[in-house]
A and B are shown apart, each in its own frame.
Chain A
Amino acid sequence: MRIKYFSLVLIATLLLGSCKKGYLDINEVNPNQTQNPPLNGLLTVVTYQTGINVFRAGNVTSYYMQYLASPNTSSGSDIYDDLDRSSLWFTTDDPTVVGDEGSGIYNTIRDERVMLYKAAATNAFEHIGVAKVTEAMNMSLLIDLFGDIPYTKALDSSNFAPEFDKAEDIFNSCLKLLDEAIIEFDRANPGIKLDANSDLIHNGNKTAWKKTAYALKARLLNRLSKTSNYNPTAILDALSKGYSSNADDAQITKFANRSPWNQVAANNANLILDGWMSEQSIQAMNGTTYGVFDPRIKYITDTTRFGDYRGTVNGKGRSGTGTNKEESYLSINGFYSKIGAPLLLVTFAEMKFIEAEASFATDKPKSYAAYLAGIAAHMDKLGVTTIEKNVYLSNTMVAVGVANFTKDHIFKEKYIAMFLHPEAWTDARRYDYKYKDFTLPLGAILPTFIRRMGYPSSEKDRNGKNVPAVTSLTEKLWWDK
């Protein structure tokens, strides 16, 4: 009798468990995520974050370039402190911050590789092209800041601590990617076309992308100016297939929140001090350094309450309270920092200056013409009036004539044309910072100008054994030696 009861009980309890098939499968799919992101959703994040990565890098290099200066005395960003740059490599999603999902160069490339994979499966040639161009854009940016970084072993989810590749090898891979991208853009009948709204750089225009690929190629080849591989012919060839006007510029015009430099200016207006003009860049434009008033200053910043333009010395910090308009800041109405301001990635003006540099040795008149055209293009971009532009371009300090024209003039003007852009720092290092009156910041902790960034703590903490030793931030990168 007891046995009967006992076995009945046993059966009942066992039955209870196996009621519903698949009852425990509920966590196999995460309902908060999708395994199948839309190709154009990836296009959006890749193009947008490629732009944000340029902003973030620019927000660091602008202090080295002395475009901007910190309002705080001896701020690490001014005096070459080895600050932690982890956010350039990867920024984790913060649900309270809008627009930083998928942010950071390796985060962007992770998403871009998925886009590449999905595009390959559906013959979406245009998307493959965009993937390769953005990968080249991102990787070429990071190697110029940090030198050797992981690449061939990176982005492999089975390798948690990848080895570092030589920057020169990555550089060559970027050139190869651009060539491959150009071929992809030429292929006929893509399975899916770029969506105009999702492509935040070129609005779905594959011709524009192809030109950008050439433009980037020109930029990269120009970086070799100090090396024996410098090939002006190849540069000029790439330029001829690249940009022909400001309309070809690669830029971001739609944003999740505010345009990033606009946010900087808005913060400053709300007394979260940021975006202060450096004395160096103010003096380069207001006539102090070069003896000619550059009208572009009016489109970038505002006068102080004293009626003049005043910059802050890098490393010195504020003189007053910093809240009384006693110095010049990025203007909330300026071209770079107004509401909806475009975030510039690759510009026609930049191309003109590359042309000037590349053709200087072989065709000085062509070089001089390109120099003047670069200034004009930049002024048009900023919205300088024709009269102001012409006044400036006819001034003898600017229009020096072919005979008196030197490379110093090219770099001097390119300094202004590349305002806030991280590529300017590469120019400065190739030029050995020889801008007029350009000195070390006050209280600099390095004996000479800074030449590289230090590896971020995120990489040192998590991949320490592979991170190369860096003795000083004055160590020159491979193309800078």
Chain B
Amino acid sequence: MVPFSLFSQNRQITGRVTDEKNAPVSLASVLVKGTNNGVSADDNGRFSISVPSGNPVLVISAAGYGSSEIRIGVANEYSVVLMNSSDLSEVIVTAFGIKKEKKALGYTVQTVTAEDLNINRQNNVVNALQGKVAGVTISSTGGAPGQGARILIRGINSLDAGRNNQPLFIVDGVEIDNSTLETGGGDTRGMTNRAADINPDDIETISVLRGGAATALYGIRAANGAIIITTKSAKAGKMQISYTGTYGFERVNKTPDVQSKFTQGFVGTVSRKPEYDPTSFWPSWGPTIAEAKALDPTHPDAIYKNFERGYRTGNQTRHSISLMGGSELLQMGASFSYSNQDGVIPFSDYKSYNARVNGNLNVSKKIKVGATLNFINSGGSRVNADRYGEQLIYWAPRWDVMDYIKPDGTQKNYGVENNNPVFTLATNRFYDNVNRIIASTNINYAPTTWLNFTYRIGNDFYTDNRTRTAPGPKGLVGELILGDNGSGFIQEHNIKNRIITSTFIANLTNTFGKDFSVDLKLGHDLRDAKQRRVSTTGDTLVVPDLFLLQNAKRILATQYIEDYRNYGFFGDLTLGFKNYLFLNVTGRNDFTSTLSKENRSYFYPSASVSYVFSDMFALPRWWNYGKLKISYAKVGKDGNPYGTTTGFISAAPIGNVLPFTYTDRLGNPSLRPEFTNSIESGFELRFLQNRLGLEVTGYMAKSKDLLLPVKISNTTGFDEAYINAGEIQNKGIEISLTAVPVRSKDFTWDFNINFSTNKNEVVKLNQGLTEILTATQFGYLTSNANMKLIPGYEYGALFGRTYRQYYGTKPEDPIRVDKDQPLLIGANGFPSIDTKQKYLGSTQPDYILSTLQTLRFKQFAVTVLVDTRQGQMKFNQFANFMAAFGTAKFTEMRTETIVFDGVLANGSPNTKPVYLGQGKGPDGVDYGNGFYRNVYRGVTENFIEDASWIRLRSISLSYSLPAAVLTHTKVFTGASLSLTGNNLWLSTKYTGFDPESSSFTAGNNGSEGYSGFSYPGVRSFLATLNLQF
């Protein structure tokens, strides 16, 4: 028997799918109706499909378009036109995966497609969103492999530095955990935000809900907005296989300026001149290189540039393959990805494996069932970038930092008081290993055309195992023990985290007459979260490099248990009039476990109006769409678990007894929920048949009764009390402009700009408090940079010490610095330090602007992403340390004698010349430890730097094989190669590493203000190959 297919008279049908403006509809699906036989059109909309004899019907469809059916006749080539659904009903995914027509929305939702998301090949989905959405501030906390990225929508609206201010992450309607856990010393190791486990190649679209009405339905957890991710789902048709492979390498993109004239040593106690000492603790206060070489012939001709030597070239590899296909009945998809990255700091790496399976089953005309299962394994060797940067400053550049180990495996060092930073990286290790399963299933039952029910349940479960090891001393002669390793230790931290979410929605639709429509949704939503942690530390290892708990002299273990439950009922009613005027009203009542019985239930509503005036009356031809929108929303937010109680904890045993002590934080049984009231208004306009679009939104949000652990007098016996502490306000404007300046057969140019500005202000603090300290970072001579909440100032306002200024008879403001006043110069000719805490700047940007340009010419495409953030200040702790240790380039002035510009205490101008170096100056006066150590490093203001930047975030060039070549291969339906450069160019006044990096982790609200010792930002070059079968 011969297979049927050899003898049937199949025909080859080709064609091109375009929209009504003749633009190609790439990747349109072409299916022979009623069969599994289907293909995808290529990027140019061209397709080629083998059909059986007869007159079969082809069904052509694409996301964002209406579908079309054509009956095959005699001809073999067809042109298919699909109607662009933005004219009809562009569908946006909103809360709970509810798809709403964009025109009906009275609030702002912005969508990013898979194509835009992945142009810069970022592995972390949060980083991938950078520059593509307005109203959102995204910062990668550093360039480490797997480093966490932080996302904030419309500013900070919680006062507690430890509260999560980041938006809710939803994948296919199921909440997933995006926390960045700091357990086990992860606070300085750039731990990963858990949303990074998502495979960006699985994503179809991301909707960003910016708050207020957009998130009113999600309640508590979406008070900071929501990121709604919809993954690619298989469509009925032939199986499509797609492979993407990326290889890239990266280097640090910006290093600080260091001096190169002076070498190791310090001012001599007797000679009072800088003295060279090759074992000195001091890296750079010695004499010039020439003078050192005269004493020590082994001294190199130039000191080592350890801030460049200490970082290597990193590399990354990523492979991703996905399979999708199905019939009208069942569609299934599977994807696998592997990624591996070695970072620019030695001994840092990250690996991730991701496997995902999803399916949709049309059980009957009325019932649809879907399920997803995603398994992820990720983790790597994490380095303490903060410590590395600090130790690099202490390390004398006279010696090569990369020469860190002796043949016997112990530390190679030039003295006894320092530690080799690379030896620290090599021996003081931290590994994490996350195993995660995200599973969800949904069922949709539509008994009639006007009623349907959806139920979705999801489980996000992961274990995170962290191991920290440090070897003990080997006991060899001449061994230099690394202080950080102590007597050796092994720590095992095991974290288990599980979130179950369940959502039920009933949806009724109806029309009244021909003008009115009603859409009512009622639902119930529940979240049940559990976290368990067990930490075991074994310290003092007997066998120095045997990292087993049994090998430790002393073992201590602690545990942590946390549960959280929350559920709510919600309703969403949309009334439509003639399909151009819409009123939407929502209401939600939440019940939470974190507040007491009297306070745990609370209700909040929202209302929005959308008016598509372009549908109501005729507008000029060149103006095809116009919409006005306004919304008001109230959202409630609860506290962290266990805020209502105070209890006793047990501490480490003494002998064989356990001490018990009161906790440091006073709980508060009468905690109330926080509420944010926001108003948003704006318009959306489109011109020239959608070739030009403009969307503008303005908003104001006031958050009250914010929960905060406030520092109280220690004489109460406690350190903090958790109270409803105050009020904060955010207001701003977001503008998105999209244009297609050129559209022709061979060349199109897509132009996108996003602009946003947010102004934040602390309105009020309760309990008679005048200020609250939220974050602080060390600076020498008590020049700590403090982030404080003070009414009238924004969240993230930085305070610290300044130079004393002369005010004469003018009154001196206790908080604000008057830049016009001269410096007060002392009798010794130097300025002095003002110990009052003054306002030094805001860590919040004035505005953020990003632009994405996509140019397509035949088979080539070029995308350019440029973004800028202006107006933010940061404390550069790195510069503070460099000044203290004589490493900074500006300390080359130490050989000079200058007159400080300022006035003396009596108001007369200063004329006294002073020597800036250490010891005896040319005038014979002894200047002690020098200006930089005596004064300069103790002035916080010197290190609050303008961290505004403009950067070329990404440029990408890609080439896709033309359809003609593809059909020739008979195997591939798509093939493209792209070259991408990320972070290629950066312009900033900031003197340290890349100012986007942070000393804190992605989950910490102090992240914005401190960028001193961080994992440096990187510039990367990637090559990506994509094949489709």
Question: B648-668 CB contact bits vs A (8 Å, 1 = yes)?
Answer: 111111111111111110110
Contacts of A155 in B (CB 8 A): 715-717
Question: B22-45 CB contact bits vs A (8 Å, 1 = yes)?
Answer: 000000000000000000000000
A6 to B453, CA, bound (A): 11
Q: Which of these, B560, B569, B651, contacts A45 with CB under 8 Å? A: B651
Contacts of A459 in B (CB 8 A): 713-715
Q: Which of these, B556, B663, B714, contacts A98 with CB under 8 Å? A: B556
Q: How far is the CB of B510 from chain A (nearest CB, A)?
A: 8
A150 to B768, CA, bound (A): 19
| Stretch in A23-31, A370-378, A384-392, A432-440 with 4+ CB within 8 Å of B | A23-31
Q: Which of these, A41, A156, A463, contacts B650 with CB under 8 Å? A: A41
Contact assessment for B652 and A17 in the assembled complex, using a CB-CB cutoff below 8 Å: no
Q: Which of these, A42, A114, A150, A254, contacts B713 with CB under 8 Å? A: A150
Tell me whether chain A's interface is mostly helix, strand or loop, or mixed. loop
Contact assessment for B642 and A30 in the assembled complex, using a CB-CB cutoff below 8 Å: yes
Contacts of B564 in A (CB 8 A): 26-27
Contact assessment for A17 and B659 in the assembled complex, using a CB-CB cutoff below 8 Å: no
Question: A21-53 CB contact bits vs B (8 Å, 1 = yes)?
Answer: 001111111111111111011101100110000
A96 to B450, CA, bound (A): 60
Question: B633-658 CB contact bits vs A (8 Å, 1 = yes)?
Answer: 00000000110111111111111111
Interface assignment of B591: CB less than 8 Å from any CB of chain A? yes
Contact assessment for B659 and A102 in the assembled complex, using a CB-CB cutoff below 8 Å: yes
Q: How far is the CB of B17 from chain A (nearest CB, A)?
A: 40
Q: How far is the CB of A210 from chain B (nearest CB, A)?
A: 23
Interface assignment of A16: CB less than 8 Å from any CB of chain B? yes
Contact assessment for B716 and A160 in the assembled complex, using a CB-CB cutoff below 8 Å: yes
Q: Mark out the residues of chain B between 744 and 769 whose CB falls within 8 Å of any chain A CB in the assembled complex.
A: 767-768
| Stretch in B243-251, B294-302, B592-600 with 4+ CB within 8 Å of A | B592-600
A257 to B597, CA, bound (A): 43
Question: B728-746 CB contact bits vs A (8 Å, 1 = yes)?
Answer: 0000000000000000000
Question: A443-467 CB contact bits vs B (8 Å, 1 = yes)?
Answer: 0000000000000001101110000
A149 to B523, CA, bound (A): 57
Contacts of A40 in B (CB 8 A): 657
Contact assessment for B653 and A256 in the assembled complex, using a CB-CB cutoff below 8 Å: yes
Contact assessment for A270 and B483 in the assembled complex, using a CB-CB cutoff below 8 Å: yes
Interface assignment of A228: CB less than 8 Å from any CB of chain B? no
Q: How far is the CB of B801 from chain A (nearest CB, A)?
A: 13
Interface assignment of A472: CB less than 8 Å from any CB of chain B? no
Contact assessment for B717 and A107 in the assembled complex, using a CB-CB cutoff below 8 Å: yes
Q: How far is the CB of B243 from chain A (nearest CB, A)?
A: 44
Contact assessment for A27 and B721 in the assembled complex, using a CB-CB cutoff below 8 Å: no
Q: How far is the CB of B87 from chain A (nearest CB, A)?
A: 32
Q: How far is the CB of B493 from chain A (nearest CB, A)?
A: 11
Interface assignment of A111: CB less than 8 Å from any CB of chain B? yes
Interface assignment of A110: CB less than 8 Å from any CB of chain B? yes
Contacts of B661 in A (CB 8 A): 42, 45, 93, 101-102, 107, 111
Contact assessment for B715 and A24 in the assembled complex, using a CB-CB cutoff below 8 Å: no
Contact assessment for A254 and B715 in the assembled complex, using a CB-CB cutoff below 8 Å: no
Interface assignment of B506: CB less than 8 Å from any CB of chain A? yes
Interface assignment of B861: CB less than 8 Å from any CB of chain A? no
Which residue of chain B has the shortest Cβ distance to A29 in the bound complex? B645
Contacts of B714 in A (CB 8 A): 86, 89-90, 104, 106-107, 458-459, 462
A368 to B870, CA, bound (A): 78
Interface assignment of A403: CB less than 8 Å from any CB of chain B? no
Which residue of chain B has the shortest Cβ distance to A154 in the bound complex? B715
Contacts of B450 in A (CB 8 A): 2
Interface assignment of B116: CB less than 8 Å from any CB of chain A? no
Interface assignment of B563: CB less than 8 Å from any CB of chain A? yes
Contact assessment for A162 and B591 in the assembled complex, using a CB-CB cutoff below 8 Å: no
Contact assessment for B279 and A321 in the assembled complex, using a CB-CB cutoff below 8 Å: yes
Check A44/B773 contact, CB under 8 A, given A13-B523, A33-B648, A92-B719: no
Q: How far is the CB of B446 from chain A (nearest CB, A)?
A: 12
Q: Which of these, A17, A25, A93, A462, contacts B711 with CB under 8 Å? A: A462
Interface assignment of A349: CB less than 8 Å from any CB of chain B? no
Q: Mark out the residues of chain B between 557 and 609 whose CB falls within 8 Å of any chain A CB in the assembled complex.
A: 558-565, 567, 569, 591-594, 596-597, 600
Contact assessment for A34 and B715 in the assembled complex, using a CB-CB cutoff below 8 Å: no
Q: How far is the CB of B486 from chain A (nearest CB, A)?
A: 8
Q: Which of these, A6, A13, A35, A323, contacts B524 with CB under 8 Å? A: A13
Contacts of B483 in A (CB 8 A): 270-272
Which residue of chain B has the shortest Cβ distance to A255 in the bound complex? B654
Contact assessment for B563 and A9 in the assembled complex, using a CB-CB cutoff below 8 Å: no
A459 to B711, CA, bound (A): 10
Contact assessment for A44 and B416 in the assembled complex, using a CB-CB cutoff below 8 Å: no
Question: A388-422 CB contact bits vs B (8 Å, 1 = yes)?
Answer: 00000000000000000000000000000000000
Which residue of chain A has the shortest Cβ distance to B570 in the bound complex? A13
Interface assignment of B718: CB less than 8 Å from any CB of chain A? yes
Question: A179-223 CB contact bits vs B (8 Å, 1 = yes)?
Answer: 000000000000000010110100000000000000000000000
Question: B700-713 CB contact bits vs A (8 Å, 1 = yes)?
Answer: 00000000001111
Interface assignment of B508: CB less than 8 Å from any CB of chain A? yes
Interface assignment of A307: CB less than 8 Å from any CB of chain B? no
Question: A138-175 CB contact bits vs B (8 Å, 1 = yes)?
Answer: 00000000000110001111011110000000000000
A6 to B787, CA, bound (A): 53
For chain B, give the interface size range. Answer: 35 or more
Among A24, A254, A272: residue with most chain B CB under 10 A: A24
Interface assignment of B907: CB less than 8 Å from any CB of chain A? no
Contact assessment for A13 and B504 in the assembled complex, using a CB-CB cutoff below 8 Å: yes
Contact assessment for B279 and A37 in the assembled complex, using a CB-CB cutoff below 8 Å: no
Contact assessment for A24 and B592 in the assembled complex, using a CB-CB cutoff below 8 Å: yes
Interface assignment of A109: CB less than 8 Å from any CB of chain B? yes
Contact assessment for B644 and A27 in the assembled complex, using a CB-CB cutoff below 8 Å: yes
Interface assignment of B91: CB less than 8 Å from any CB of chain A? no
Contact assessment for B651 and A32 in the assembled complex, using a CB-CB cutoff below 8 Å: no
Q: How far is the CB of A316 from chain B (nearest CB, A)?
A: 9
Contact assessment for A110 and B593 in the assembled complex, using a CB-CB cutoff below 8 Å: no
Contacts of A26 in B (CB 8 A): 563-565, 593
Interface assignment of B952: CB less than 8 Å from any CB of chain A? no
Contact assessment for B647 and A13 in the assembled complex, using a CB-CB cutoff below 8 Å: no
Contacts of A110 in B (CB 8 A): 662, 716-718
Check A42/B645 contact, CB under 8 A, given A27-B564, A27-B593: no
Contacts of A84 in B (CB 8 A): 782
Interface assignment of A10: CB less than 8 Å from any CB of chain B? yes
A337 to B415, CA, bound (A): 27
Interface assignment of B185: CB less than 8 Å from any CB of chain A? yes
Check A463/B715 contact, CB under 8 A, given A48-B659, A272-B483: yes
Contact assessment for A38 and B660 in the assembled complex, using a CB-CB cutoff below 8 Å: yes
Contact assessment for B659 and A45 in the assembled complex, using a CB-CB cutoff below 8 Å: yes
Check A17/B558 contact, CB under 8 A, given A42-B660, A110-B717, A150-B715: no
Contact assessment for A157 and B719 in the assembled complex, using a CB-CB cutoff below 8 Å: no
Contact assessment for A89 and B715 in the assembled complex, using a CB-CB cutoff below 8 Å: yes
Contacts of A44 in B (CB 8 A): 654, 657-660
Question: A5-22 CB contact bits vs B (8 Å, 1 = yes)?
Answer: 110011011101100000
Interface assignment of B451: CB less than 8 Å from any CB of chain A? yes
A103 to B506, CA, bound (A): 56
Which residue of chain A has the shortest Cβ distance to B645 in the bound complex? A30
A37 to B717, CA, bound (A): 17
Interface assignment of A99: CB less than 8 Å from any CB of chain B? yes
A138 to B721, CA, bound (A): 24
> Could you show 28 A-B contacts with beta carbons less than 8 Å apart?
A2-B450, A2-B508, A5-B508, A12-B504, A13-B504, A14-B569, A17-B567, A24-B592, A24-B600, A25-B597, A26-B593, A33-B642, A33-B645, A34-B647, A35-B648, A44-B659, A99-B651, A109-B717, A111-B662, A114-B662, A162-B716, A270-B481, A270-B483, A321-B415, A323-B417, A462-B713, A462-B714, A463-B715
Q: A9-B508, A101-B651, A150-B713 are in contact. List 15 more A-B contacts (CB 8 A).
A: A2-B510, A9-B453, A23-B565, A24-B600, A27-B641, A32-B562, A35-B645, A106-B714, A160-B712, A161-B768, A200-B655, A256-B654, A270-B483, A271-B483, A458-B713
Interchain residue pairs A-B with the least CB separation, the first 4: A110-B717, A33-B647, A102-B661, A41-B660
